[in-house]
A and B are shown apart, each in its own frame.
Chain A
Amino acid sequence: MSGFDDSLLNEADETVRVRFVVNGRKVACEVAPRETLVDCLRDKLELTGTHAGCEMGACGACLVQLDGRAVHSCLIFAVQADGATIDTIEGLSELGAIADLQAEFHRRNALQCGFCTPGMLVNAHELLSQTAQPSREEIRDALSGNYCRCTGYEAIVDAIDAVASERMKAGGAGGGVT
């Protein structure tokens, strides 16, 4: 190092050890205090199903479940999530928790490039666990933080609507099939 003032950058590089339960498994990783949860999930844990579209809480591409609630992983630092239980699209898929939503999205082609899709599914999952049979208006409202550039949103609304009805018919009045 040729006389370079170390204090300029080193502070940002210091790492902290954090621990989470991600998709049902205990994990620990070293993160810089400034690292967001979305970066930690994607880069450190290689869970690239969670996407970053805006990194400011506006697009919903980065939604994950944190302690059972949908949160924007771009808006919290990884250190803030220390000790939390996190479920990403990969975990929710493997668990089968959103299998019916995924099947309905597939059947209706409620996705095109698929980049918004994990966030949409996490949000839809959250909505249906709160409101068993939302109206189309309520579905659109609930998705109003999820940006999709490809679809016209309508097929997504249709898919969620159909799953809500199916779940009701199956007798899950209290919500999801988790």
Chain B
Amino acid sequence: MTAPLTSLDRPNSYIGRSVPRPNAKRLLAGRGRYISDLRLPRMLYAAFLRSPHAHAKIVSINTEQVRAVEGVHLVATGTDLAKICTPWTGTLDHFKGMTSAPQLPLPLDRVVWAGQAVVAVVAESRAIAEDALELIEVDYEDLPVVVDLDAAREAGGALVNPGSVNNTCFRSQLDNGAVDDAFAHATHVVEEEFSFGRHTAVTLEPRAIVADYDPAAGMLTVHHGTQTPYQFQDLYSRHYNIPEARVRVIASDIGGSFGMKLHVYHEDMAVVGLSILLGRPVKYVADRIESFVSDIHARDHRVRARMALDAQGEILAMDVEDLTAIGAFSTYPRTSVVEGNQVIRLMGAPYRFKNYRATLEVIFQNKVQTSQYRAVGHPIACAVTERLVDMAAAKLGLDPFAIRAQNVIPDGAYPQTSPTGYRFEALSHQACLKRLHEMMDYDGLRAEQADLRKRGIYRGIGIAAFVEITNPSPAFYGVGGARISSQDGAILSLTPSGEVRCLISVTEQGQGTEAIISQIVADQLGLAQEHVKVITGDTEMTPHGGATWACRGAGIGGETALQATRALKRNILEIAALILQEQPSALDIIDGQVVDAATRNQRMPIAEIARIAYFRSDTLPPGTQAQLTVSHHFAPQGYPFAFTNGIQGCSLEVDVETGLIKLLKHFIVEDCGRVINPMLVDEQLRGGIVQGLGAALFEECRYSDTGQLVNGSLADYLVPMPMEMPDIVIGHVETPTADTELGAKGVGEAGTAAASACVLNAVNDALAPFAVTINSIPITPLKVLTALKRF
């Protein structure tokens, strides 16, 4: 029996197909070109002396001895770099009242976290530079250190920025008025205080940069391990006062990024300045310890939340307070407030209720900055909401699936506006819930759980629904005054031999950007995928665009490629029509051949059109201008974000003797709209889930009372390893967005968004027989044993 033909059976139908990534073969052969591999002629190496204090005055810096060391080319302090670099401030205009101190590459007179870079040495090798650091003498005078969240908020307490009145970076409130009333009339109220530890991205390749200033050309080239080259082109140009067209940022292979590599780091700005001062290429690659103390950290929230329900289990209202500590500065240019803002706006997102109130307070402290990392705000909002829903279910005697089925926004009820002000175009909670129930064999798992419990084995089942923010429009950073693009650009050329070269502004960090762009181009043009070459990550070649962050690669980058390809196809067919004496509308392209649109009979190869246009334009009718290169930009319109949704489930076992948690299996049903490459989507989901599971069980940046990071190495900071990670079962629902032709939304945050919420619910489910609960992440064995009063 043959299956009915689908759109995938057309020739060159690549959208929706699991094709491997063409560029992955290079990486598998050890032929990646990471920035940390790069070596340029006359290149020097930078190393940084870091502050041992979390807060101290710099009294004096003596670099006399080191300047004389053989192989040392430059020693630079904050003052040296301040002469050529203008300061930056991590605030956004639409966050009213937000404050943050101006920042410079290296500090002038005060250090504000332990590990902050203070002096730079540039030498002929990294080893010489590091040796030389030991000869620098810095005299510090200790200042009071602000570490703890409560201490930071205390009136009259120590200040992170002595000039300010308190340690508040930003405060905000959402309130639609009737929350107190709703709680007063509720039959059931559930309430909890949650805490979420700090963790960090731990990309396997640390941050890496090679800055190369050529004074003769007045040209700065920066090879930068980043996801957002255009953003850095703009920043280097403005802060170092070099015309934008003379700044080139190249982001080749990047060994992991996850949002961590799109912020401005002091060392990176310094390296650019060092190269300008020296007129030579300067390289800096953070080592692992430097990464732990200087990469952005993430999360660190304390949330008090309550939920009101009626007698039947309808959610009536939520009331939320989010306190988050962000370190000594707000990051630039995206700010450290976006996470908290998304936490309070994503609360309760899957559910149909009207009354909502939230306050957000963002606090400074003497630690490294926190900022956007994969699934900004999502895991916090999801864990709080989903835990409260589970608590409500327990109170009402409802099953976790039943209470969600009762409360999610029905699939047919869109468009909807959430009580926090987000506009949802179309989500599919009901379909996802149903799918997950089947996929997990939920009833079977429950039966097994009950059985095992009798034998003293405590298994837990947790589920968590989520809404994910993707495809941000200019309403995100644009309105805040940040020069961060929400549009993308593509330049597409038909080459003389009939292949296509696509230069596009979305970038690749391994998620498969180049693969899906080539799939879209090949599909839309009617060409074999191997005849499409995609080039990304070089501001000198690719047009300006937002690049890859916040899940915009497929949705916005993909749409850009689609529209650009259609334009190129129109141009090709117009020339073909002139040559073939036909109407363009009577022609089409299949497998690189111009065909008769109706009969599909081959007329001529597109390579022949290219040959004629490029080499024999004399044979075309007079006045013909063959436009075989098109450039096209696309900016999202319509909904400000393409929200996606899904639900996760997990099954785990808690060893009540040791407190150890074994993850048994994880499940996700996800709706990212049109799926371009199912295999890549699945792997994004799995990778994202594992990052969420790491946060749930292992990862935490731990500080001493004096503000020292005490677990800054891969031996001390636990990351998810293969042995602890479960197999992950994936299901898809597809609700394409109608805002674009392509219909794709993002998927990169989905896994991380709900994984820790699932684990939190499952652990609490496992511990239910003991009538104890856990409300803090990561869930360490110690926390389990403490809850069980066994420690």
Query: B627 on the interface (CB 8 Å rule)?
Result: no
Chain A interface residue count, CB cutoff 8 Å, equals 64
Nearest CB on A from B662, distance (A)? 12
Query: A67 on the interface (CB 8 Å rule)?
Result: no
Tell me which of A55, A121, A152 contacts B28 (CB under 8 A): A121
Cβ of B258: which chain A residues have Cβ within 8 Å of it?
Answer: 149
A115 and B34: CB pair below 8 A?
yes
B68 and A48: CB pair below 8 A?
no
Given contacts A53-B204, A59-B714, A113-B256, contact A32 B127 (CB under 8 A): yes
Given contacts A53-B205, A58-B715, contact A109 B32 (CB under 8 A): no
Nearest CB on A from B602, distance (A)? 32
Given contacts A56-B714, A56-B715, contact A107 B20 (CB under 8 A): yes
Query: B165-173, B395-403, B508-516: which lies at the A interface?
Result: B508-516
B204 and A147: CB pair below 8 A?
yes
Query: B49-57, B519-527, B678-686: which lies at the A interface?
Result: B678-686
Given contacts A50-B30, A90-B30, contact A152 B687 (CB under 8 A): yes
Given contacts A32-B127, A109-B21, A152-B686, contact A114 B510 (CB under 8 A): yes
Cβ of B34: which chain A residues have Cβ within 8 Å of it?
Answer: 48, 51, 115
Nearest CB on A from B362, distance (A)? 27
Q: B284-301: contact bitstring with A at CB < 8 Å (1 yes, 0 no)? A: 000110000000000000
Query: A140 on the interface (CB 8 Å rule)?
Result: yes
B32 and A115: CB pair below 8 A?
yes
Interface residues of A in 78-127 (CB under 8 A from B): 88-90, 93, 102, 105-109, 111-118, 121
Tell me which of A1, A56, A116, A156 contacts B204 (CB under 8 A): A116
Cβ of B257: which chain A residues have Cβ within 8 Å of it?
Answer: 113
Cβ of B24: which chain A residues have Cβ within 8 Å of it?
Answer: 105-106, 109, 111, 114
Cα–Cα distance between A140 and B722 once the two chains are bound (Å) = 5
Query: B93-101, B529-537, B723-731: which lies at the A interface?
Result: B723-731
A55 and B683: CB pair below 8 A?
no
Interface residues of B in 254-312 (CB under 8 A from A): 254-258, 287-288
Of all chain B residues, the one with the shortest Cβ separation from A157 is B722
Interface residues of A in 53-88 (CB under 8 A from B): 53-56, 58-59, 61, 88
Interface residues of B in 213-256 (CB under 8 A from A): 253-256
Cα–Cα distance between A55 and B715 once the two chains are bound (Å) = 11
B204 and A115: CB pair below 8 A?
yes
Tell me which of A54, A115, A121, A151 contacts B687 (CB under 8 A): A151
Cβ of B32: which chain A residues have Cβ within 8 Å of it?
Answer: 48-49, 114-115
Nearest CB on A from B779, distance (A)? 19
Given contacts A107-B20, A114-B24, contact A12 B37 (CB under 8 A): no
B28 and A114: CB pair below 8 A?
yes
Of all chain B residues, the one with the shortest Cβ separation from A89 is B30
Nearest CB on A from B548, distance (A)? 12
Cβ of A49: which chain B residues have Cβ within 8 Å of it?
Answer: 29-32
Cβ of B685: which chain A residues have Cβ within 8 Å of it?
Answer: 152
A151 and B686: CB pair below 8 A?
yes
B722 and A144: CB pair below 8 A?
yes
A102 and B29: CB pair below 8 A?
yes
Cα–Cα distance between A56 and B751 once the two chains are bound (Å) = 30
Interface residues of A in 141-163 (CB under 8 A from B): 141, 143-157
Query: B776 on the interface (CB 8 Å rule)?
Result: no
B728 and A150: CB pair below 8 A?
no
Interface residues of B in 28-51 (CB under 8 A from A): 28-32, 34, 36-37, 39
Nearest CB on B from A102, distance (A)? 4
Query: B657 on the interface (CB 8 Å rule)?
Result: no
Cα–Cα distance between A111 and B510 once the two chains are bound (Å) = 8
Query: A178 on the interface (CB 8 Å rule)?
Result: no
Nearest CB on A from B678, distance (A)? 10
A117 and B27: CB pair below 8 A?
yes
Nearest CB on B from A154, distance (A)? 6
Cβ of B744: which chain A residues have Cβ within 8 Å of it?
Answer: none
Cβ of A42: which chain B residues have Cβ within 8 Å of it?
Answer: 37
Query: A2 on the interface (CB 8 Å rule)?
Result: yes
Interface residues of B in 54-99 (CB under 8 A from A): 65, 68-70
B510 and A4: CB pair below 8 A?
no
Cβ of A53: which chain B residues have Cβ within 8 Å of it?
Answer: 204-206, 288, 714
Query: B128 on the interface (CB 8 Å rule)?
Result: yes
Given contacts A54-B714, A149-B719, A152-B687, contact A111 B70 (CB under 8 A): no
B70 and A151: CB pair below 8 A?
no
Cα–Cα distance between A45 and B715 once the two chains are bound (Å) = 29
B723 and A9: CB pair below 8 A?
no
Query: A8 on the interface (CB 8 Å rule)?
Result: yes
B204 and A51: CB pair below 8 A?
yes
Nearest CB on A from B108, distance (A)? 28
Cα–Cα distance between A30 and B66 once the two chains are bound (Å) = 26
Query: B453 on the interface (CB 8 Å rule)?
Result: no
Tell me which of B65, B509, B727 contacts A154 (CB under 8 A): B727
Cα–Cα distance between A52 and B714 once the two chains are bound (Å) = 12
Tell me which of B68, B205, B253, B728 contacts A152 (CB under 8 A): B728
A106 and B687: CB pair below 8 A?
no
Given contacts A9-B70, A93-B30, A114-B24, contact A143 B128 (CB under 8 A): no
A155 and B686: CB pair below 8 A?
yes
Of all chain A residues, the one with the shortest Cβ separation from B287 is A55
Cα–Cα distance between A106 and B691 once the two chains are bound (Å) = 22
Cβ of A2: which chain B residues have Cβ within 8 Å of it?
Answer: 68
Query: B202 on the interface (CB 8 Å rule)?
Result: yes
Query: B203 on the interface (CB 8 Å rule)?
Result: yes
Query: B517 on the interface (CB 8 Å rule)?
Result: no
Of all chain B residues, the one with the shortest Cβ separation from A59 is B714
Query: B689 on the interface (CB 8 Å rule)?
Result: yes
Query: A17 on the interface (CB 8 Å rule)?
Result: no
Q: Could you list 20 examples of A-B contacts with CB < 8 Å?
A: A1-B68, A1-B70, A12-B127, A42-B37, A53-B205, A54-B713, A54-B715, A106-B21, A106-B25, A113-B203, A113-B253, A113-B254, A113-B255, A113-B510, A114-B32, A115-B32, A115-B203, A149-B258, A154-B725, A156-B722
- Which 6 residue pairs are nearest across A and B when measured between Cβ atoms? A49-B30, A152-B686, A114-B27, A115-B255, A112-B510, A89-B30
Interface of B toward A, CB cutoff 8 Å: 20-21, 24-32, 34, 36-37, 39, 65, 68-70, 127-128, 131, 135, 201-206, 253-258, 287-288, 509-512, 679-680, 683, 685-687, 689-691, 713-715, 719, 721-723, 725, 727-728, 751
